[in-house]
């Protein structure tokens, strides 16, 4: 989905119509009907109950939950995917049983009114609130956060009414069933990932903190520029060589932090060797950038990376270990690197990588990859199987692994 395809959904929300938010547009496994909270009518709630058949919920930001005095229900918070349900509620006045479509619509409109507070609702009730992450899909890429973000992008109050779509067996609708539901009822479809991409393209989410010269044994003098991600406060670094020109595509290496490889010289991977090689290549070219991202272990963090190492010691490969720990095979995101590059005035790059996912990731977030420049280093006994796994399972572009190949 191109970012312009958000427009039909945003127009529909402004007009008080429903849309369908799915987890993935190509192979959806779940979808929520969504309508902006301030536009909710009796018919919306009735349609959700009759056709979608899931629970009618109301995603709210933490500040709105606090304003209304709605406490969170104790829940299993052991995973990032856990849903932050609040205590059910309904409007104190203007409703009867609270369960009718008209009563629930009235309750939602009361809750979205910025003048309402805890005195205007009673608990428990018949509307189930869900507390969304403050940073929206950029903090937690889920349908709850997408509903909030879409309402905001439509210039409406940041709250929504949602309802999961179920199939005839009462299970979450998926695939063609879900997309067919949207087609039958004329609903614009938006994937969570497209909301993420739209925000990363159009909002400045990094803050330049400080910069200083850096003398590197890997090649010359660089300018080190520190950045902060405004959403999660993580810090990243851009290492810049030479004077960048807007009309040229410089050599760029997007490198995810690897403490074990970059600093401790781990032989399990080739990360440190690639970083050094990239800086030498940039030095030889006279200009370029290394964007050093705080994404340890392909995005799973240092402790989980060590857990993955332990599983690899038991015979799993690098992909199997990540999956067994409950993570995606590669959990990295390149949206922040695109923002850093744009802040540096870079719109087009010659990307030092063997990883097609990086090319796609930067392209999706508005950076033109004018050329892929291979960055292969000599494998050795310690990382040869690791590199073969990355080539076989992650699609890395390697020319060979019998003595001259490399990874990313």
226-248 pLDDT, tens digit each = 999 988 888 999 999 988 887 78
Buried b / exposed e along 341-363 (16+ C-beta atoms within 10 A):
bbebebebbbbbbbbeebbebbe
- The per-residue pLDDT for range 124-171, each reduced to its tens digit, is 999 999 999 988 988 888 899 999 999 999 999 999 999 999 999 999
* pLDDT recorded at residue 146: 96
* pLDDT recorded at residue 370: 94
Residue of 330, 342, 343, 378 marked active site: 330
223 is catalytic: no
* pLDDT for residue 408 is more than 60: no
How high is the mean pLDDT of the chain?
Answer: 87
* pLDDT recorded at residue 184: 96
Token pair recorded at residue 94: 């203007």
Confidence grade of residue 395 (pLDDT, cut at 50, 70, 90): low
- Is the CB of residue 17 less than 8 Å from the CB of residue 190? no
Residue of 109, 157, 199, 332 marked active site: 332
Token pair recorded at residue 197: 């991409």
* pLDDT recorded at residue 398: 63
Confidence grade of residue 195 (pLDDT, cut at 50, 70, 90): very high
- The per-residue pLDDT for range 280-339, each reduced to its tens digit, is 999 999 999 999 999 887 777 888 878 878 887 888 877 787 788 777 666 667 888 988
Domains of the chain in sequence order: 3-200 (3.90.870.10), 204-295+332-393 (3.40.50.10990)
Q: Is the dihedral of CA 146, 151, 154, 155 positive or negative?
A: negative
Confidence grade of residue 378 (pLDDT, cut at 50, 70, 90): confident
Residue carrying structure tokens 């890429």: 141
Confidence grade of residue 108 (pLDDT, cut at 50, 70, 90): very high
Buried b / exposed e along 143-165 (16+ C-beta atoms within 10 A):
bbbbbbbbbbbbebbbbbbbbbb
Residue range 382-388: average pLDDT?
Answer: 68
- The per-residue pLDDT for range 54-65, each reduced to its tens digit, is 999 999 999 999
332 is catalytic: yes
* pLDDT for residue 397 is more than 90: no
Contacts of 233 (CB under 8 A, 6+ apart): none
In 3D space, the residue among 187, 145, 164 whose CA is nearest the CA of residue 17 turns out to be 187
Residue range 380-404: average pLDDT?
Answer: 64
Residue range 189-206: average pLDDT?
Answer: 88
* pLDDT recorded at residue 400: 64
* pLDDT recorded at residue 399: 66
Q: Is the pTM of this model over 0.85?
A: no
* pLDDT recorded at residue 13: 97
């Amino acid at each position: 989905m191109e970012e312009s395809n958000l427009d039909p959904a945003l127009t529909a929300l402004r007009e008080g119509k429903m849309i369908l938010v799915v987890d993935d547009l190509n192979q959806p496994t779940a979808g929520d009907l969504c309508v902006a909270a301030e536009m909710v009518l009796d018919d919306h709630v009735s349609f959700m109950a009759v056709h979608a058949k899931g629970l009618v919920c109301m995603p709210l930001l933490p500040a709105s939950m606090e304003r209304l005095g709605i406490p969170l229900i104790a829940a299993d918070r052991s995973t990032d995917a856990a849903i932050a349900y609040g205590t059910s509620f309904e409007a104190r006045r203007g409703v009867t049983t609270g369960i009718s479509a008209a009563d629930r619509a009235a309750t939602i409109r009361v809750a979205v009114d910025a003048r309402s507070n805890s005195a205007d609702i009673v608990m428990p009730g018949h509307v189930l609130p869900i507390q969304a992450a403050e940073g929206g899909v950029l903090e937690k890429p889920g349908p709850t956060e997408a509903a909030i973000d879409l309402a905001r992008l439509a210039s409406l109050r940041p709250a929504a009414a949602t309802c999961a779509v179920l199939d005839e067996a009462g299970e979450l609708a998926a695939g063609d069933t879900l997309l067919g539901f949207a087609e039958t009822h004329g609903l614009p479809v938006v994937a969570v990932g497209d909301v993420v991409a739209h925000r990363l393209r159009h909002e400045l989410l990094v803050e330049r903190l400080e910069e200083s010269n850096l003398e590197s044994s890997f090649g010359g003098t660089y300018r080190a520029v520190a950045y902060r991600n405004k959403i999660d406060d993580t810090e990243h670094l851009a290492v810049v060589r030479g004077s960048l020109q807007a009309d040229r595509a410089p050599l760029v290496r997007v490198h995810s932090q690897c403490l074990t490889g970059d600093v401790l010289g781990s032989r399990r991977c080739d990360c440190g060797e690639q970083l050094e090689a990239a800086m030498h290549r940039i030095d030889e070219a006279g200009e370029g950038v290394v964007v050093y991202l705080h994404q340890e272990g392909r995005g799973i963090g240092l402790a989980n990376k060590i857990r993955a190492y332990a599983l690899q010691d038991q015979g799993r490969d690098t992909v199997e270990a990540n999956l067994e720990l409950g993570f995606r095979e590669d959990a990295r995101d390149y949206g922040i690197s695109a923002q850093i590059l744009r802040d540096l005035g870079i719109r087009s790059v010659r990307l030092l990588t063997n990883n097609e996912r990086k090319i796609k990731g930067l392209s999706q977030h508005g950076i033109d990859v004018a050329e892929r420049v291979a960055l292969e280093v000599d494998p050795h006994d310690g990382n040869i199987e690791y590199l073969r796994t990355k080539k076989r399972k992650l699609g890395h572009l390697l020319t060979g692994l019998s003595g001259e190949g490399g990874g990313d």
